[in-house]
Every structure is written in C-alpha cells, then in structure tokens.
Amino acid sequence: MMEMEIFKTDLSTAKLPFFSACIQAGFPSPADDYLESLLSLDDICLTNRETTFLGRVAGKSLQDIHVYEGDIMVIDKSLMPQNGDLVVAVINSEFTAKFISINGKEVFLYPANKNFKPIRIAEFDDFKIWGVVTRIIQDVKGRWNVGHC
C-alpha cells in the first residue's frame, strides 16, 4: 500500500501572469510579447474548495503514468468515481491511489506499474473511496536525463 500525506487546501491570494499564446510542445512558434491576464491556480485546481485536499505521493505504483514519489495529487472528495478514474482509496485503514474498475459488485484497483498486481476488493475488506484525483502537481526540474536520447 501507499503511504500518503493529506493536506487541506487554503485560499490562495496569488494571481500569476498567464501567457496567452499556446506553448508548443512540438516545433517552436513565435512568442507573443504580452501577457493576457492573471490566473489563479485555485481556478485551475479547485472545483469545490470545501472538499478538495492535497496528497503527497509515496511509492511507485503510478510510475508508468509518470506520477512519482513526492508529486502532489489534487483530490476532490465530492466527485463520484467513474470507471477508469484515478482515486484515493482506503483499504483496511491504509491509503492507496489506483485506477478504479467497477463491474457490478466487483471492484478492482489497478496500479500504473507493470510490476504491481491489481487489488480485488473482497467482501470482508474495510474499503471506501476517499476521493477522486483531478490534477497532479509535479516538480519536473532535473527529472529528464539529457543523455537519454
């Protein structure tokens, strides 16, 4: 299972400059020399302030989707989980983040790491969905090895 730190969100007063042009991930395009507006990260990350929490990832079960130890998950407890959602679940008093598959009364939690096995939720398990992950915040500086081409 994954250990996780959970934090309540707080209202941010920071408004960051928003670059209005799309930033190409392919061929570079000419940059606009102006900023269009100010944007709050709250507007991007929070759908419901009262039910949104942050959780720090521990473990390697999501590494195949490039979610790593130390990344921050934005978790909304008010959302109803749908098949394929990344959820934070509590199984027998332990937190874990996995993709959920619900088929009738069968529930499976799938990791995003080929070295981990899915978890079948048994009838005797103490199980609940704690929230649905809506965003991942990552510190990507230094993650890519330049010699890796």
Residues classed as catalytic: 61, 98
- Which own/partner pairs from 81-89 qualify as long-range (CB within 8 Å, at least 24 positions apart)? 81/129, 81/132, 85/132, 85/133, 86/62, 86/132, 86/133, 87/129, 87/130, 87/131, 87/132, 87/133, 88/4, 88/55, 88/129, 88/130, 88/131, 88/132, 88/133, 89/127, 89/128, 89/129, 89/130
